[in-house]
Amino acid sequence: MTGISIAARCAMAGAMFLMPVTGASAEEAFKTFKQLSSTSKMPKLSAFSATGGGLATAAAKDVAFRAKLVNSEEMLKEGLTWRVFSPISGEDGKLPLVASAEGGDASFQLLPGDYFVNVAFGRAGVTKKLTVPADGEVEPQVLVLDAGGVVLDAVSGSDAPVPASRLRFSIYSSEVREDGERGLVMADVRPDTIVRLNAGTYHVVSEYGDVNAVVRADIQVEAGKLLEATLQHRAAEITLKLVSQPGGEAIADTAWSVLTAAGDIVNESVSAFSTMVLAEGDYLAIARNKDRIYQRAFSVKAAENVDVEVLMKEQPADMGLLNDTELRN
């Protein structure tokens, strides 16, 4: 495989860096990554004929299947899932599965008749119609996958690493349906995981934490190439503490609410330490302890993880925030 040059369009507040993987390292990473459990040699599997009738007594024939990527002469050795279907729908309206196998090359014994053969490589796949004749041998079937790969990661600010445990991705189709939604291709993708996809444009959503740190970007997957895409968050990890004095111990059994500058609640919890990831912006922290309510305004800056202390003291009337009655309501 070769390197890539891709222009990506980033949406909303996020940005994205694209890094090509070139040379032998890209080929090795993309082709040998084991996304599915597999064996290097697949046994021959028997199957029934799709057409039946007068050919029911004909001898089954060995049919070999192989797959490769576009613009590559090397056959894929692992990570493939083969499925052979009858073209005649069953009572449930679905095509009956005749045979299946996982791994690299596959070989099936098929009776004369028509079949649909599908090979999947991760989320990429291709389907071919096959006719097994009553006379003569069947040539080895080679299916060509128009597929590539992508590895997703993210940073906060310019280059601050994001903990993998707090980061997840979802991949959607680029087209927007009539209902305004996009088709989900794959959810809960972990960072630094190779995802195999059909070549094309995809919409990626990156979530840092589980509150409001979300960025989006469009990426272009090219056949036979591995893309490394890094999305840029503008967010930070914040820990809220209710204390009797600056630097004091956090007070237990405290109920927390975090509001945006517009007054929308973005997070609620009950704990001495309330830790969360928030997108860059201005917020109001509200602490409720033993029927008393305390509050503090604070700001979040990208990649600046900080503790925010809320003091247990009377709030001055000119703070311009919410009074106790408004907070309770």
pLDDT class of 317 with cuts at 50, 70, 90: very low
Domain boundary among 233, 258, 293: 233
Q: Clarify whether residues 146 and 105 are in a common domain.
A: yes
pLDDT digit string, tens, across residues 136-182: 899 999 999 999 999 999 999 999 999 999 999 999 999 988 888 99
Instruction: Check if the beta carbon of residue 234 is closer than 8 Å to that of residue 10.
Output: no
Q: Which of 23-37, 62-76, 100-114, 286-300 has the lowest mean pLDDT?
A: 23-37
Encoding tokens for residue 149?
């790969």
pLDDT digit string, tens, across residues 99-139: 999 999 999 999 999 999 999 999 999 999 999 999 989 99
Q: Clarify whether residues 214 and 262 are in a common domain.
A: no
Domain boundary among 233, 255, 290: 233
Strand partners of residue 318: none
SS (H, E, C) the chain: CCCCCCCCEEECCCEEEEEECCHHHHHHHHHHCCCCCCECCCCCEECCCCCCHHHCCCCCEEEEEEEEECCCCCECCCCEEEEEECCCCCCCCCCCEEEEEEECCEEEEECCEEEEEEEEECCEEEEEEEEECCCCCCCCEEEEECEEEEEEEEEECCCEECCHHHEEEEEEEEEECCCCCEEEEEEEECCCCEEEEECEEEEEEEEECCCCEEEEEEEEECCCCEEEEEEEECEEEEEEEEECCCCCCCCCCCEEEEEECCCCEEEEEECCEEEEEEECEEEEEEEEECCEEEEEEEEECCCCCEEEEEECCCCCHHHCCCCHHHHHC
159 contacts: CB under 8 Å, gap ≥ 6: none
Strand partners of residue 297: 284
pLDDT at 314: 57
Mean pLDDT over residues 188-192, rounded?
A: 96
Domain boundary among 185, 216, 233: 233
Compute the distance between CA of residue 310 and CA of residue 241 in angstroms, rounded to an integer: 6
pLDDT at 318: 42
pLDDT at 28: 52
pLDDT digit string, tens, across residues 83-102: 999 999 988 999 999 999 99
Mean pLDDT over residues 277-291, rounded?
A: 96
Compute the distance between CA of residue 124 and CA of residue 70 in angstroms, rounded to an integer: 12
Q: Clarify whether residues 255 and 109 are in a common domain.
A: no
Mean pLDDT over residues 261-290, rounded?
A: 96
pTM: 0.75
pLDDT at 57: 55
Strand partners of residue 148: 197
First to last CA, the chain: 62
Q: Clarify whether residues 246 and 177 are in a common domain.
A: no
Q: Clarify whether residues 94 and 219 are in a common domain.
A: yes
Q: Which of 29-33, 70-74, 105-109 has the lowest mean pLDDT?
A: 29-33
**How many structural domains are present in the chain?**
2
**CA quadruple 182, 186, 191, 192: dihedral sign:** negative
Q: Clarify whether residues 211 and 246 are in a common domain.
A: no
Instruction: Report the amino acid identity of residue 143.
Output: L
Q: Clarify whether residues 252 and 226 are in a common domain.
A: no
pLDDT class of 269 with cuts at 50, 70, 90: very high
Instruction: Check if the beta carbon of residue 214 is closer than 8 Å to that of residue 13.
Output: no
Q: Clarify whether residues 172 and 288 are in a common domain.
A: no
Instruction: Check if the beta carbon of residue 207 is closer than 8 Å to that of residue 166.
Output: no
Q: Clarify whether residues 317 and 253 are in a common domain.
A: yes
Q: How far is CA 179 from the centre of its chain?
A: 22
pLDDT digit string, tens, across residues 220-243: 999 999 999 999 999 999 999 999
Q: Clarify whether residues 201 and 276 are in a common domain.
A: no
Instruction: Say what percent of the chain tops pLDDT 90.
Output: 71
Q: State the burial class of residue 251 (Cβ atoms within 10 Å of its Cβ: 0-12, 13-18, 19+).
A: middle
The answer, yes or no, to whether residue 35 has pLDDT greater than 60, is no
Q: Which of 26-30, 213-217, 230-234 has the lowest mean pLDDT?
A: 26-30
Encoding tokens for residue 266?
């973005």
Instruction: Check if the beta carbon of residue 206 is closer than 8 Å to that of residue 277.
Output: no
pLDDT at 107: 96
pLDDT at 148: 95
pLDDT class of 6 with cuts at 50, 70, 90: very low
Domain that holds residue 292: 236-328
Instruction: Report the amino acid identity of residue 114.
Output: D
> pLDDT averaged over the chain?
84
Q: Clarify whether residues 205 and 280 are in a common domain.
A: no
**What CATH number has the domain bearing residue 274?**
2.60.40.1120
Q: Clarify whether residues 304 and 193 are in a common domain.
A: no
Mean pLDDT over residues 296-311, rounded?
A: 97
